[in-house]
Amino acid sequence: MEPAADIEHLERGLLRGENCAEDGEDEEAVLFRASFDEAEERFVKYQTARWVLYSLVLILAWGIGLLMLIYLPFRRCIFRRDFRSRKLYVTPNSVVYKVRRPVLLPCCGVLKKEKHVLLPSVADVVIEQGYLESVFGVYSVRIENVGVRRPPSDDVQIQGVANPHAFRKAVLIRLSNMSSELFSGHPPAGEDVPRMGHSSVASMSPSRSARHDPSFPLDQFAILQKLEEVGSTVKRVETLIDEQNLQTPARAD
């Protein structure tokens, strides 16, 4: 078997038989893959119920709801193709969500959407379920971003995840491992960090090195800044004490 064919075979196995070259699968290792297959029927029934409710309401408004009911079989087909194309997985550095949504009619092409959320920017993974979702057993997963300046609309929301609690646990475990690797000083697997002498490490400013690291959490960066300020203050106090000790014998003479 040729190397290219071998790689293609492995990628197809990861993506449940679909062609990954077209979807642009990342070369990063997949630590956890969320499942959607078990929730397909529940999701289609949930979306169908929503569509029928909207149609019944809009029948009273210029008869638009009647056209929506006629369009329902095509809409169900779009729901299925949309749902089957969804991919949500966790890599060592990010959470990746991909979907291919048909446009209006299944034969009119698709819209591709790909979202990468860096793990250091993840504040929490929220599992939600509204009233109608609870009736059909459908869950939604919302990935909250770090930072108060970002509006809630920037959060990534995925509906229909069959194992939302397992996905949330996988993300939180990976974040915990990244924090442990950061504080223990051990580089992540697959990365080689040059060894430095004691003098080089002592002369390096923690906040300066953290400032150039995009994966460094903001709260830990603030702590290091405070530590650096305290260290600078202690050094200034020691300098003043040394100067006073030098001036004391001169006054005694």
Closest residue by Cα to residue 94 from 117, 77, 110, 76 = 117
Q: Burial letters for 220-252: b for 16+ Cβ neighbours within 10 Å, e otherwise?
A: eeeebeeeeeeeeeeeeeeeeeeeeeeeeeeee
Residues in the chain with pLDDT < 50? 1-7, 9-24, 189-218, 250-253
The CB density around residue 16, as the number of other CB atoms within 10 Å, is 12
Looking at residue 207, its pLDDT comes to 42
What pLDDT sits at residue 222?
A: 58
* Alpha-carbon distances, residue 46 vs 69, 101, 102, 132, 145 (angstroms): 15, 17, 18, 7, 28
Return the domain boundaries, the chain. Answer: 9-184
Q: Provide the pLDDT for residue 183.
A: 75
pLDDT at 239: 74
Q: Which residues contact 101 (CB under 8 A, 6 or more apart)?
A: 78, 81, 82, 85, 110, 111, 112, 113
**249 touches 178 (CB < 8 A):** no
Task: Provide Rg for the chain, Cα atoms.
Answer: 27
- CATH fit for domain 9-184, picks 3.40.50.150, 2.60.40.10, 1.20.1080.10, 2.30.29.30: 2.30.29.30
Tokens 């893959």 belong to 33
Q: Helices 40-59 and 72-84 sit at what angle, rounded to 10 degrees?
A: 150
Task: Provide the pLDDT for residue 155.
Answer: 79
Q: What stretches of the chain adopt beta strand conformation (E)?
A: 32-33, 87-90, 94-102, 110-118, 122-128, 140-145, 156-159
The token pair at 133 is 């979702």
Answer whether 116's CB lies under 8 Å from 90's CB.
Answer: no
Q: What 3-state class would DSSP assign to 141?
A: strand
User: How would you list the strands of the sheet with 87-90, edge to edge?
Assistant: 32-33, 87-90, 94-102, 110-118
pLDDT number for residue 91: 93
Q: Give residue 23's pLDDT.
A: 47
- 54: exposed, middle or buried (Cβ count in 10 Å: 0-12, 13-18, 19+): middle
Q: Give this prediction's pTM.
A: 0.60
Per-residue pLDDT tens over the stretch 44-75: 999 999 999 999 888 877 778 888 899 899 89
Helices and strands (H, E) in the chain, number of each type: 10, 7
Neighbours of 191 (CB within 10 A): 9
